[in-house]
Chains A and B, each alone.
Chain A
């Protein structure tokens, strides 16, 4: 479980699925018949003469903090607290898991069990818990509300369930690893991989694909506005 090739396999597995996921997203956007904001975004980011690096960074941070982290574009106006907290937990949880996975991979590439009380473990658990609770809250909200249930697209429910599955499997896998149960952790590792695969292949086909497209549009726009203001 802890040998080096397995972590390399995990890394390659993620890279391949990331590429597949990107291809799926590009195909989906092509089917919509809209422009690719990613191309525009890259052009805006790397045009040397247009904006200073600090201005670009400011625009990116502004979009990330104002629009995403402060939930400005993700429901902060919603009067229903249950929904707002669910979304916040889901967004922070998912973002945190991605960051913690990268940190864990850099600091602990061999995958040595860190134990339950290691700061990295605690933070990782916390983010998985956020994601599990958040996705379940959003799923539950759509089931409880009768009118919302009738209009909900099944893919939305599937999205919440797949995020919940990923979070639960992630917690189980890390727990088995930290408890020193090699057989169970090796089984759960493959189940965890199934959760990751599900997310990589399903997210670009779900609402998340649309949000990625929209976020890159907003970021491109904020860069253009920043450019105009400096002119």
Chain B
């Protein structure tokens, strides 16, 4: 039979276990609102019993470990969703900006200008010899050219901004990879002390979460708790070493390459993928369509304009072969120097008669004639482009909302496993406090028992 002191020893283990539990509870409450914090739990175990003549007697409680309550599978799901969500958020933000560039609902966009040009040429066909009307035709021509130029430069500027973001994003990815590599080397240097340190693991997970937002990563953790990360077909972090990505801007677009190759990464999601896609494909697609429209306008309008005759006033002969626009892209379209030189050079007449406006009405009709390669008119082609932007923007929006809901659900699920519940911690606290009080009561009972024994002597 064991002595009274063993009761005291057992009570002592109970007191320290309760203290450890209250400690953890307090830590949980303290970090209830900390980002990336995982609630911790004390793993307690009954100590190996002692064999006595009448059987086994318990010898108290032992705190084995403080562990995180976390599900690695849910982590992976959440990270994948986060990569997808970040990509679609980038799309959505870019599309919102593209849409505001093309916003025609306010009624002062290129489509309005094109209609104004049509109207100006129609008015010119009424009174081809009127200098005021010729002035209006030139002004609306200048406005159409300027609108094209503005749209083009706004798109190019947006693209440039996205290009800056790409460089910034790669810098952040490299920083985050370096952070993870540093955490790995801490664990490597002092494996026994850090291997199971919950807060260090939280730091690691939180760093991976942030990385997964930017680039879709593959995470593997080895038996020693070392985290290796690869992304887009290359290694980002291997043990204590981070391999930096590099960015190169060329005329064909931006490529992001790994440290050991010139082949660009094969990404599928994450902010970086979204930015690269917006830069390399999405914006280019709109600006090249805009170029096509501008080019078609210049070509067809000039082809009609150059067959018409200029206004002859004061004996100067009526000439033919003058152009109205020049340039072949949205960025380079301009009113032709012929028109700037003299308003008389607007070729409204079909045969040189000053009162003939037949060519002016032919030019006006160019805007509504099926002159684009896909059989639409210039105005319809431009409106189709706006429709496309609207559709893309709507898709980007609904994709983002869908992924947001999915991510929220997964995150809620993750929180329901790992998040700190104050109610739960408080009820645990009461429970642990009662345990502590009960253990203390045992100590005072043992004390009384000692008193009784001493008094017996």
B and A form one assembly: no
Q: B interface vs A, CB < 8 Å?
A: none
Q: A interface vs B, CB < 8 Å?
A: none
